[in-house]
Amino acid sequence: MRVLFNGSMYVKSPTGVGIYIREVWNNLFRKLDTKGVDYLCYTYDKDGLSKQDNIRKINLPFGMQYLLKKFISFHRLIWNFFYLPFIARNYDLIYSFSSHGSPFIKNQIITIHDLVCFSFPKQHKFQFLYFKYIVPHIITASKQIVVISEFTKNEVIKYYKVDPNKITVILNGGDHLKHCDGLFISQEEQKIDELISAQDFFLTVGASYPHKNIERLIQAVNGMSEKTSLVIIGSVNKYYNQLRKFALQKNMRNIIFLEYVSTNFLNLLYKKCIANIYISFNEGFGFPPFEAAVNNKISIVAESGALPEIYGDAVHYVDPLSVKEISEALRMVASSNIKHCQYQKRFPALLNKFKWSNTADKIAQLIFAFTG
């Protein structure tokens, strides 16, 4: 049996889907080895991935590699659409860790993490066009679709009219920071830590697009009587810069913006924060509340998307549209009027249920079922 893994969403400094690929791959390869599977995985970067002899870096032939080097979305699209099918001819199954595949491959399984682009089509126009016009053809060609929550399954049925029997729900893990050591950080991050640690702060991670709802969070912090700080971590893009400008216009000096940080430093910030805030309008799963729970910190979470399904009663919910309700929750958490222990006692069960080893087990079972 020969299986080709498509990890074309894995790049240096992974977030979101990249973390998913890293954690699944690092748990999955052992299960493949025990079954004697012949396998190979294609990614854009190898850092953080185990079994590197079974990983190949994605490149386009001829001058396209050079011409599209700075246009990762187009590079990825061309590689998946046209180059991947030639490699796939020698494999029994192509398993994609994301929605990227090719309509020219019949023996493939793809993974859909969320369909946020349909609710927010303007925030990433290329992604919206990809999911609207290209993904339907990839779905038609695929043997099966893996989704990461029941919420995402319902979204796929809603937007693509897919037979539910063609969809398999395999939940993510959430324990990827469990063995992380936050003590070993760079000198630059040590200086940032000294600045941040001088005051109490809330933490929010993943401020990359409008659906993350960070403007309302900034307004909620501004409305608090106690001037605690808010640390915002996100990739620098148009939205991130708009948030900086928004905070500046409100003359808010207690908002600290950080770009991508190392895993160790992120873990340290979770340990030191008052609480994690995750009030996104739409998530297929959502990692930050797990990352906070690993560090025994509670999360204030939007009652939207897949978040109630995944987190149950282990987080404190708010209406993501209500600045007043978000602000009140922040105030209660900061003053300990919310009993942190009532949530913390539920963390072990939450983390035990959502393990990456369980995710890899389910994926391995699906692969074996389709390859005999």
Mean pLDDT (whole number) for 74-98: 95
Please choose, from the candidates 45, 53, 57, 3, the residue with its C-alpha nearest in 3D space to the C-alpha of residue 21.
45
- The whole-number pLDDT of residue 76 equals 94
Distance CA(239)–CA(264), nearest Å, equals 26
Q: How far is CA 72 from the centre of its chain?
A: 18
**Model confidence over 98-130: pLDDT tens digits?**
999 999 999 999 999 999 999 999 888 899 999
Residue 39 clears pLDDT 80, i.e. is over it: yes
- Residues 8, 110: contact at Cβ < 8 Å? no
pLDDT at position 356: 96
User: What is the pLDDT at residue 182?
Assistant: 60
Give percent above pLDDT 90 in the chain: 76
Of 181, 110, 183, 179, nearest to 140 by C-alpha is: 110
In CATH terms, are 2-173+355-371 and 187-353 the same topology? yes
Q: pLDDT grade, residue 72 (50/70/90)?
A: confident
Distance CA 27, CA 103 (A): 28
- State residue 78's pLDDT score: 93
Categorize the per-residue pLDDT at 251 as very low, low, confident or very high, splitting at 50, 70 and 90. confident
Question: What does pLDDT average to over the chain?
Answer: 92
Mean pLDDT of 361-367: 96
Q: Domain residue spans in the chain?
A: 2-173+355-371, 187-353
Better-scored residue on pLDDT, 338 or 168: 168
Architecture of the structural domain at 2-173+355-371 = 3-Layer(aba) Sandwich (3.40)
pLDDT for the residue 183: 66
Better-scored residue on pLDDT, 65 or 363: 363
The mean pLDDT of 340-359, rounded to a whole number, is 94
pLDDT digits 0-9 by tens, 276-322? 999 999 999 999 999 999 999 999 999 999 999 999 999 999 999 99
Reduced 3-state DSSP string for the chain: CEEEEEECCCCCCCCCHHHHHHHHHHHHHHHHHHCCCEEEEEECCCCCCCCHHHEEECCCCCCHHHHCCCCHHHHHHHHHHHHHHHHHCCCCEEEECCCCCCCCCCCEEEEECCCHHHHCCCCCHHHHHHHHHHHHHHHHHCCEEEECCHHHHHHHHHHHCCCHHHEEECCCCCCCCCCCCCCCCCHHHHHHHHHHCCCCEEEEECCCCHHHCHHHHHHHHHCCCCCCEEEEECCCCHHHHHHHHHHHHCCCCCEEEECCCCHHHHHHHHHHCCCEEECCCCCCCCCHHHHHHHCCCCEEEECCCCHHHHHCCCCEEECCCCHHHHHHHHHHHHCCCCCHHHHHCCHHHHHHHCCHHHHHHHHHHHHHHHHC
pLDDT for 252: 87
* Residue 189 confidence (pLDDT): 85
Position 357 pLDDT exceeds 80? yes
pTM for the predicted model, two decimal places: 0.93
Closest Cα to residue 54, out of 42, 45, 36? 42
What was the pLDDT predicted at 187? 82
- Give the pLDDT score at 85: 96
Q: What is the CATH number of domain 187-353?
A: 3.40.50.2000
Write out pLDDT tens, residues 163-206: 999 999 999 999 998 877 666 788 888 888 888 887 899 999 99
